[in-house]
Amino acid sequence: MNREKSCGIVIFKSIEGEIRYLLIQSRTHGDWGLPKGHVEKGETEEETALREVLEETGLAPTLIDGFREVVNYKVYLKKADKLVDKEVVYFLGRATEEDVRMQENEVSAFSWETEQRAYERLSHENARQVLRQAAMWIFENTESKI
């Protein structure tokens, strides 16, 4: 069985005194999720995550040291007609702006959501678990660190 690896970022920003998380909707599947994408040859995980976020959202968040969550699942690749193991590595990043510029061919919508609304809107449980870990990390670490 083949393996596929992607990297992404849980992007947050304080909006009106409240932490909001960026969710994007896939143009292909209609799912709501966190920005992520495939690792290209020679890239580090962080480089992949930052490149993909910039491509999909136009944002260049600041990565926060100390947060790295890994999600593993199986995904069916239609074009290859096979099941592959998928690994997604997520980092945490603070956005310095909230003006998202969507990559039209991949992203159909975006939304800055509160933690609770993000849980409700995310399409997959593994994304909810990553968001939960990120929210807990933010809560447990002082504002001076982030």
Mean pLDDT of the chain, nearest integer = 91
* CATH 3.40.50.300, applies to 3-140: no
Neighbours of 30 (CB within 10 A): 10
Position 83, amino acid: L
Q: Give backbone dihedrals phi and psi of 94, rounded to 5 degrees, phi first.
A: -95, 125
* Predicted model pTM: 0.91
Q: What is the pLDDT of residue 143?
A: 62
The domains of the chain are located at 3-140
Q: What is the pLDDT of residue 2?
A: 78
Q: Bridge-partner residues for 3, per DSSP?
A: 85
Give the containing element (helix H, strand E) for 137: helix 125-140
What is the pLDDT confidence band of residue 71, given thresholds at 50, 70 and 90? very high
Cα–Cα dist 69/130, whole Å: 7
Neighbours of 18 (CB within 10 A): 10
Q: What is the pLDDT of residue 77?
A: 76
Question: Does 144 have pLDDT greater than 60?
Answer: no
Cα–Cα dist 59/73, whole Å: 27
